[in-house]
Amino acid sequence: MSEQIIALVAGATRGAGRGVAVALGEIGATVYVTGRSGGGRRSEMDRPETVEETAELVTAAGGRGIPVVVDHLEREQVRALVERIDAEQGRLDVLVNDIWGGELLTDWDAKMWEHSLDDGMRILRLAVDTHIITSHYALPLLVRNPGGLVVEMTDGTTEYNTGHYRISLFYDLAKVSVNRLGFAQGEELAPLGATAVSLTPGWLRSELMLDHFGVTEETWRDALAKEPHFAISETPLFVGRAVAALATDPERSRWNGQSLSSGQLAQVYGFTDVDGSRPDAWRYIVEVQDAGKPADVTGYR
């Protein structure tokens, strides 16, 4: 991979996507950051974060952030995005598919037959179709040079999701499908010298989650009074540094097709969260939270 990494983080307006973009900025990458909120408009999420803000954070971190407003369900917009990257850079080294946006569409308490079918099907389109469309147009550019990396961002490892129902049928299907996209693309990319993985953060302190608990990043520990297990949570930058570690690892092909977590990769690569810790959320969730034990992150971060 060339010294300066050229990356596309699709779905970088907020949350894990923003964290990934900023972490790639930390290693000096040029990062195209996309999302629907920008250019003075908001997506159906109606959140204040924008792709322009993310691009500024990338540049401030030491890279070059390039914001592009894109709806990844619109094929021509994605085609134009990739054509622009090709024209401006001539290559693409890293593709991160982090498009999502289904939180407000999910009725977490409804059975599948009670759930709005329109909302459920849109959840799947936002979570799966967007990733397929983006890879379809971006992979020919990514495989032009050997060594490319594709990261499919999801929630939960394949191992965990296989054995646990993820609250809602539509959410469950969405996140399981994205893990499979990482595996399947790995099968097709390996002969061309590229690597694909799926990657999950732990309990993410996204902007939406902080708002849910009525806290900020500075006061997040106040949420422990309501949810003690939130003590294992991590910033979006943590999973971002997992992507940066993969992108700079000349032996990243050893992970091809695998389902990975931020906490798992931190143990291998040695990166830390903003506070210097290495939260291993999925091990904690299995061994402490799901096991019904009192919240205690000792040995897990």
Question: Are 123 and 106 spatial neighbours (Cβ–Cβ below 8 Å)?
Answer: yes
Residue positions annotated with a catalytic role: 171
Angle in degrees, 0-180, between the axes of helices 117-124 and 169-189, rounded to the nearest 10:
20
Question: Are 167 and 155 spatial neighbours (Cβ–Cβ below 8 Å)?
Answer: no
**Per-residue pLDDT reduced to its tens digit, 111-168:** 999 999 999 999 999 999 999 999 999 999 999 999 999 999 999 999 999 999 999 9
Question: Are 278 and 216 spatial neighbours (Cβ–Cβ below 8 Å)?
Answer: no
Cβ contacts of residue 24 below 8 Å, gap of 6+? 5, 7, 9, 31, 58, 63, 94, 240, 243, 244, 247
Query: What was the pLDDT predicted at 103?
Result: 87
**Per-residue pLDDT reduced to its tens digit, 18-30:** 999 999 999 999 9
Read off the pLDDT band of 16 (50, 70, 90). Answer: very high
Query: What was the pLDDT predicted at 43?
Result: 83
Read off the pLDDT band of 2 (50, 70, 90). Answer: very low
Tokens of 207: 């902007």
Query: What was the pLDDT predicted at 1?
Result: 44
Q: Can you tell me whether residue 163 is helix, strand or coil?
A: helix
Bridge partners, 242 (sequence order): none
Gap between the Cα atoms of 92 and 4, Å rounded: 11
The DSSP 8-state label assigned to residue 25 in this structure reads: H
**Per-residue pLDDT reduced to its tens digit, 221-277:** 999 999 999 999 999 999 999 999 999 999 999 999 999 999 999 999 999 999 999
Dihedral (CA of 284, 287, 290, 291) sign: negative
Q: Is 94 left (phi over 0), alpha (psi -120 to 50) or beta?
A: beta
Q: Tell me the pTM.
A: 0.96
Gap between the Cα atoms of 49 and 7, Å rounded: 20
Tokens of 136: 């379809």
Which phi and psi angles does 104 have, rounded to 5°? -80, -10
**Parallel, antiparallel or unpaired: strands 64-69 and 94-97:** unpaired
Which residue from 54, 58, 56, 52 is spatially nearest to 40, judged by alpha carbons?
52
